[in-house]
Amino acid sequence: MFTRPPGFTYKKDELHCDGVSINRLAKKFGTPLYVYSALAIRERYRTLERAFHHVRHTLCYSVKANSNLSILRLLAGMGAGFDIVSGGELERVRRAQKKALKKVVFSGVGKTADELRLALRNGILLFNVESEGELELLATCASELRKTANIALRVNPDVPAETHPYISTGLREHKFGVPIGNARELCRRAAEHKYLRVAGVSLHIGSQIGDVAPFHLAMERAVELVMQLLADGHNIRFIDAGGGLGISYNSAAPLDFTDQAHRYAEAITEPFLRMKKPFPHLLLEPGRSIIAPAGALVTRVLYLKRNGNKRFTIVDAAMNDLIRPSLYQARHEITPVTFTRARSERVQSDVAGPICESGDFLARDAMLPALTPGENLCIFDAGAYGMSLASNYNSRPRAAEVLVEGTRVRLIRRRETIKDLLQEEAACL
C-alpha cells in the first residue's frame, strides 16, 4: 500500500484526508467530490517560502490553478500575493482578501481595456505586459484614470523546457511575452508615458517542469536584461520568475518537496544574486507545486464492464470534472478509498466517466484491485487544474469542494444543480 504526502493517508485500510475519513465525506457530500487538505496546502506554501528565505520575495500564487475563494483566503492569510489573468480572477482575490490586491501581478496576452481599468482602480502591484499593443492600451487607460501603472515586460527568453507542448510557453514560437531582444526599445518607449513606470521584468517558461536547469537559464537571461535596463536608467524593482515547478504524479517516483524547492530556489537565485545590490524584489507565481498534491477527486464506481478483452470501470466523475488525462495525457494515480491487503491483486482497467466521448477517461490501463460498484475511488494530485478547468459538458453540474483541516470539514463550494445550469438560458422560440 502506498503512502502519500501529508494530507492523504490510510488509517486502518481507509483513506483519510487529514483526520477525516474520505468515505464519510463522500457519504455526506456526494460524489464526484473534490477534497483538499489545508494542512498540505500550508505545508507546501511554507516549504517554498523557506526555500527563498535568503532573498526578498513574494509568492504570488497562480489563481488559475485553483481559484476557490476559501483556498485563496487561506493563502492570503499566510501572506501570499496572487498571479491573475482576468478580471474574474481579480474579483476573486478582492473577495478573498482586499488588502492582497496590493500584491497582485496581472499576466496574460489578451487583457481587455475593461480588465486593465479594473486592475488600475484596484491598485495592483504589477502589470506583466505581453505586447506593444497592450502597452499602448494600458498607457491610455492609465492616463484616463490618472493612475500610475507599474509595468514589467514579460519577455520570452527562448528557453526550451521539457513538458507537454500545450503548457510550454517560453519559446519564440509561443504566443507569450515579447522577444527579449525588443525589450529595451519597448521599455524606452514605455518610460515616455507619464502614467507608466517601468518597474520590472517578468517571465514564465511553462508548467509541470521537472528539471530546474531551464529556470536557471531563463533567469540568467532575465538578469542580463535587468542589468541593461538599469544602465538605461529604469528603476527595476521587481523580477518575476513566473511559475512552472512540476510535481511527481507517480507515487513510485516520489519527490521530496523540501529538496526540490531548494534546488529550484538555488537555480533561480544563483543568477539573481550575481547582480549588484540592492537586489530587486523577487516575485514567483507558483500554482501546481502548492495545490496539486493537496487535493484529490473522489468518485464512485457505477459499473464494471468488459468489451472483448478490455475492462472498463465506469465512475461518476468524468472529463468535465478533471480534463487533464484527456487533454494532456496526464496520468493521475487512482486507488480505492477502502484498501485491504486481501485486495492486493490487480487487474488492468480503464477508468472512464459517463460522458459520450471515447476521450472521456480518467485513466488508461490502470492497475486496480477488483472493484465493486458503489465503492469510492480517489484520484490523486487533482488539486491543481482540476476544478478550475471543470465544465458543464453533457449538462453535468460541477462537483462540490470540501476543505479539511484536522477534523474540521468546510464545504467550500456546494454541488451545482441542474437548476443552476439552466438559469442563464432562455427558451426563446
Cα 291 from Cα 268, distance rounded (Å):
21
Going residue by residue from 303 to 322, which x/- string records binding to ligand LLP, judged by CB under 6 A? --------------------
* Of positions 36, 45, 272, 385, contacts ligand LLP by CB under 6 A: 385
C-alpha cell belonging to residue 260: 526540490
Nearer to ligand LLP, 167 or 421 (CB): 167
Q: How many other C-beta atoms lie within 10 A of the C-beta of residue 259?
A: 11
Among the listed ranges 220-228, 236-244, 263-271, 410-418, the one in contact with ligand LLP (CB under 6 A) is: 236-244
* Of positions 7, 81, 87, 244, contacts ligand LLP by CB under 6 A: 244
* Shortest CB 265 distance to ligand LLP, Å: 14
Which residues from 250-269 bind ligand LLP, rule CB under 6 A? none
271 forms part of the interface with ligand LLP (CB under 6 A): no
57 forms part of the interface with ligand LLP (CB under 6 A): no
At 303 the three-state DSSP class reads strand
DSSP string, 45-96: HHHHHHHTTTS-EEEEEEGGG---HHHHHHHHHTT-EEEE-SHHHHHHHHHH
The dihedral through the CA atoms of 170, 245, 64, 62 has a sign that is negative
Cα 50 from Cα 48, distance rounded (Å):
5
Nearer to ligand LLP, 58 or 289 (CB): 289
* Shortest CB 341 distance to ligand LLP, Å: 34
* Of positions 195, 249, 279, 328, contacts ligand LLP by CB under 6 A: 328
383 forms part of the interface with ligand LLP (CB under 6 A): no
69 forms part of the interface with ligand LLP (CB under 6 A): no
* Of positions 31, 68, 86, 289, contacts ligand LLP by CB under 6 A: 289
Element (H, E) at 142: helix 132-145
Going residue by residue from 161 to 190, which x/- string records binding to ligand LLP, judged by CB under 6 A? ------x-----------------------
CA distance to 57, 58, 227, 279, 379, per residue, from 275 (Å): 15, 19, 8, 7, 44
The single residue of 187, 356, 378, 428 carrying the catalytic annotation is 356
The dihedral through the CA atoms of 193, 231, 176, 101 has a sign that is negative
* Shortest CB 54 distance to ligand LLP, Å: 21
Q: How many other C-beta atoms lie within 10 A of the C-beta of residue 295?
A: 29
CB 250 within 8 A of CB 330: no
* Of positions 97, 168, 208, 313, contacts ligand LLP by CB under 6 A: 208
83 forms part of the interface with ligand LLP (CB under 6 A): yes
62 forms part of the interface with ligand LLP (CB under 6 A): yes
Nearer to ligand LLP, 62 or 349 (CB): 62
C-alpha cell belonging to residue 242: 513566473
Among the listed ranges 248-256, 282-290, 369-377, 415-423, the one in contact with ligand LLP (CB under 6 A) is: 282-290
Tell me how many residues contact ligand LLP (CB under 6 A).
22
C-alpha cell belonging to residue 205: 517558461
324 forms part of the interface with ligand LLP (CB under 6 A): yes
Q: Which long-range contacts (CB under 8 A, 24 or more apart) does 175-180 make?
A: 175/109, 176/109, 176/130, 176/204, 177/130, 177/153, 177/203, 177/204, 178/129, 178/130, 178/131, 178/132, 178/153, 178/154, 179/155, 180/155, 180/156, 180/221, 180/225
CB 202 within 8 A of CB 155: yes
At 414 the three-state DSSP class reads coil
156 forms part of the interface with ligand LLP (CB under 6 A): no
C-alpha cell belonging to residue 118: 479594473
Nearer to ligand LLP, 25 or 323 (CB): 323
207 forms part of the interface with ligand LLP (CB under 6 A): yes
Q: Quick check: is 356 catalytic? A: yes
By annotation, the residues acting in catalysis are: 356
Binding site for ligand LLP (CB under 6 A): 62, 65, 83, 107, 167, 204, 207-208, 242-245, 285-289, 324, 328, 384-385, 389
